[in-house]
Amino acid sequence: MSINLSEKPIFIVGQERSGTTLLMAMLGCHSRIAVPEVAWWYPRFRGYLYSFGDLTVGENLRALADEMIFGLRNPFWGMPVNPRTIVDDVLESVREQSFAGLYCAMMERYASWVGKPRWGEKTPNNLYFTEEILEDFPGAKILCVTRDGRDMSVDAINSDFGPTNILCAAENWKHGQTRAQQLRRVLDASIWFDVRYEELVRKPEEVLRKVCSFLGEDFESEMINFYKSDIAKARGKLRDHRPLAKPISDKFVGIYKECLSLFDQRIYAGVAGDVHLSEGYDLDVEPLVVSEEEIRRYRELDDCYRAATLALPGGRIVIESYNDWIIDQREERRKQGVWSENDRPRKGLHTDPHEDHIVGIRAPRIWKERLAIKRQYTGTGAV
């Protein structure tokens, strides 16, 4: 089933720490475009719809709606709602009984609340669900943000939720950028538009004018003042997003030169250098080929550190606890007979070795259990 909207929805995709949040804040300042905080609904749910059974059955659709709505990282996107009735309210307003119907209903609710006719959404890993997005919302507009993988790796390693070493950061960047290249080759220019982070921060008005032209909208100078918006101010209070509460700057371009050792730069070049060069970025070091034994060690250390740091300040323990709870609910529905292993797709997401990363799982369960990381469902955590 598909939902055709006269005001074509906008999806900002890319990779975490690539600049997608910056573009989200900018577009959200346009007088016609409503862009709430991240949803993570495509990564969390779209590839697992089989586990909810037939969504034309009211009970199954309600289960999906409940998990989607109450799992938002920023509760209800700040909208004034009654938690007791919000699921009923959304179910009554769906255009169709489907994931897309629920998704659209919540987006339209937010757009109506802020008084804008068109909605957009930013979840970086929607990059891996572009085909599903276009299936659900034909004619949707895709904005893909690309950033130098070395700089992105620095930000990822220093964040509260990213890869914890250069090899894993480089692998993630290469995996995501390879996906972007595949999509760029097959999607029409009326659907897909590339935004280079370095150009955006150096020539914001010029780039935003091109973005608006692609979207069929007029450029508005208020987009440059994104840092004055409520979302930017809220994000700016968080360690990982402090620059968002300030005017745009290019001071984060080339940070790898000071933050990555030559050894780490060589590892990055050895892992992602081919894709890096094909994206038009230069390399100024000789690539280092890491042995399979060392690769396994880097990956194991990353898994361990991710789990060990979940409960630190800003460590995303509340979000991770909810992600784990969703997996538990999926398993419970299997036990109840809602779905069986025969229903699980045998391709796509479920065959990707980066599945956990794609869906937003921050640490493997085996390490969370090994380190006795306790779940936490309440707190003042990050969005």
- Of all residues in the chain, what percent carry a pLDDT higher than 90? 91
- Average of pLDDT values for 237-246? 87
Is 3 domain-assigned? no
Q: Per-residue b/e over 34-69, b at no fewer than 16 CB within 10 Å?
A: bbbbbbbbbbbbbbbbebbbebeeeebbbbbbebbb
| CA distances (Å), origin 347, targets 186, 265, 343, 344, 351 | 20, 34, 12, 9, 6
Is 198 domain-assigned? yes
- Average of pLDDT values for 96-105? 98
Asked if 377 and 70 count as a contact pair (C-beta separation under 8 A), the reply is: no
pLDDT for residue 383: 46
Is 2 domain-assigned? no
In this prediction the pTM is: 0.96
pLDDT tens-digit series, residues 103-162: 999 999 999 999 999 999 999 999 999 999 999 999 999 999 999 999 999 999 998 888
Beta-carbon contacts of 320 under 8 Å, excluding residues fewer than 6 positions away, are: 310, 361, 362, 363, 368, 375
Beta-carbon contacts of 289 under 8 Å, excluding residues fewer than 6 positions away, are: 270
Is 1 domain-assigned? no
Question: What mean pLDDT, rounded, does the chain reach?
Answer: 95
Is 165 domain-assigned? yes
Query: Within a 10 A sphere around the Cβ of 378, how many other Cβ atoms?
Result: 7
Asked if 207 and 219 count as a contact pair (C-beta separation under 8 A), the reply is: no
Number of domains making up the chain: 1
Query: Within a 10 A sphere around the Cβ of 189, how many other Cβ atoms?
Result: 9
CA–CA distance, 17 with 277 (Å, rounded to integer): 19
Is 110 domain-assigned? yes
Is 379 domain-assigned? no
- Give 193 or 243, the one with higher predicted confidence: 193
Burial of 276 (0-12, 13-18, 19+ CB in 10 A): buried
- Specify the CATH number for the domain of residue 273: 3.40.50.300
18: nearest Cα among 165, 191, 201, 185: 201
CA–CA distance, 313 with 221 (Å, rounded to integer): 36
* pLDDT band (50, 70, 90) for residue 380: low
Is 377 domain-assigned? no
Q: In what order do the strands lie in the sheet with 192-196?
A: 33-34, 118-122, 10-13, 141-146, 192-196
Residue 266 pLDDT more than 70?
A: yes
| CA distances (Å), origin 150, targets 51, 165, 171, 291 | 38, 12, 11, 21
CA–CA distance, 352 with 103 (Å, rounded to integer): 25
Specify the residue for token string 């997005």.
Answer: 133
Residue 382 pLDDT more than 60?
A: no
8: nearest Cα among 142, 187, 194, 185: 142
- Average of pLDDT values for 94-108? 98
C-alpha Rg value of the chain to the nearest Å = 20
Residue 292 belongs to what domain range?
A: 10-370
* pLDDT band (50, 70, 90) for residue 312: confident
Asked if 198 and 150 count as a contact pair (C-beta separation under 8 A), the reply is: no
Task: Give CA angle at 214 (213, 217), nearest 5°.
Answer: 50
Q: Which two tokens stand for residue 285?
A: 């070091």
- Average of pLDDT values for 48-60? 97
